A = this chain, B = another copy of it.
Amino acid sequence: MINNITLNWPAVIEFGLGKIQSLTEHLEGCRRVFFLIDIPIKSQVDPLLAALKQQGLHIMVSTEVVPEPPFSALAKLLAPVKEFGPDAVVGIGGGSAMDLAKLVAVLFSGKQQASDVVGIGKVNGRGVKLITAATTSGTGSEVSPIAILTDLENKTKKGVVSKFLVPDVAIVDPELTFSVPPATTAATGVDAMTHCIEAYTNRFSHPVIDNIAIEGIRLIAANLERAVKNGMDQEARAAMSLGSLYGGLCLGPVNTAGVHAMAYPLGGEFKIPHGVANSVLLPFVMHFNLPACTQKYANIATAVGTPQAHQVENIASQGILRIRQISQRAGIPSSIKELGIPEAAIPAMAEAALKVTRLMNNNPCTISLMDAENIYRRSFGGELS
């Protein structure tokens, strides 16, 4: 029996080379637009901004994007945007830029505070048009109902989940990713693959999302190394953009699980980029989950190019090794130790990870505090088996 599902996706998704130009069409009827733009992409979109200005659009541009943004980074943006009074908010950048733009869109009016909306379904509404354009492949934030802030005090990440954070228009233009450096390409690519894997093997998985997720896994596995090695490889970049979009489409209806929950403390306390944290943990959490989803892991193994084997358990295990290899070939460190995190931090990280219940509840196997510690310890050493 096919379960119920709500698909809450942007009404318009523009995919393809040069699609950033569709902003002109999608801003028709708007008068005052606030742009939050990641600084490395700014010069690439400047001609478009100039054209929009010439058409009479009032534009306010900020490039104050802080990676893994703390609450204070959001707070800093709100007052000037309120004063500007936009009727549309556009976020162009990676996950941090788009998450901040999404939060600015629902909070700049001042009716709710950031602390009011942490959690699921706490946002009361949104009065402006919201458009996102992704410049990494990627976070998936361009199509998701999620924005993540770093809680510096408690050294963890806090999630805001709301249908009002789903943009009206999402633009996925591979051209915007050409200049992303190899290390970021690698980390964000594995993040996108992790979205697909954690949705596909989710406790609340759904055939509609499975269909997208497995194709996302296939696209990313086949193209990540190429995109890392040659950022100008249009084919690989387009495939990564589509795979990342698929990963993003999984986030609202099903979302991630144990890997993301356990990655948050690495980001919250040690400022490890989100994709790197996911990449290091992914094979170890998969290894832990293996008994609960052998067939699905075998399907993933096939999607990532693992040769067929007689036993489903064999191919599933081989698939985990292959996924680790994909990360390694993309140049991502393979252990927590290599990230410079002390082993002594593990118990506190395990406690913090267990608190991310909105994701831990999605994991195919229950992860106890002791399990989390064990997974961190194995990821620390980096020995998989």
Contacts and interface: CB of A to CB of B under 8 A. Distances in A.
B11 A242 contact: no
A239 interface: yes
Interface string A1-24: 111111111111111111100100
- Which among A4, A9, A207, A235 has the greatest number of chain B C-beta atoms within 10 A? A4
A19 B2 contact: no
Nearest to A6: B14
A22 to B, nearest CB: 8
B211 A242 contact: no
Interface residues of A, number: 33
A208 interface: yes
B1 A235 contact: yes
A6 B17 contact: no
A116 to B, nearest CB: 20
A234 interface: yes
A218 to B, nearest CB: 10
A154 to B, nearest CB: 33
Contacts of A14: 6
B2 A238 contact: yes
A269 interface: no
A106 interface: no
Interface in A159-176: 163, 166, 168
Contacts of A5: 15-16
Contact of A4 (B6, B19, B163): B19
Interface string A228-268: 00000011001100100000000000000000000000000
Interface in A14-43: 14-19, 22
A212 interface: yes
Contacts of A2: 15-16, 235, 238-239, 242
Interface in A186-217: 207-208, 211-212, 215
B6 A13 contact: yes
Contact of A17 (B4, B15, B17, B238): B4
Contacts of A208: 15, 242
Contact of A16 (B3, B12, B215, B239): B3
A5 B172 CA distance: 10
- Which among A2, A17, A208 has the greatest number of chain B C-beta atoms within 10 A? A2
A234 B328 CA distance: 47
A12 B6 contact: yes
Contact of A15 (B4, B15, B16): B4
30 contacts: A1-B234, A1-B235, A1-B238, A2-B15, A2-B235, A2-B238, A4-B15, A4-B16, A4-B17, A4-B18, A5-B15, A5-B16, A6-B12, A6-B13, A6-B15, A6-B22, A8-B11, A8-B12, A9-B11, A9-B13, A10-B11, A11-B166, A11-B168, A12-B163, A15-B208, A207-B242, A208-B242, A211-B211, A211-B212, A211-B215
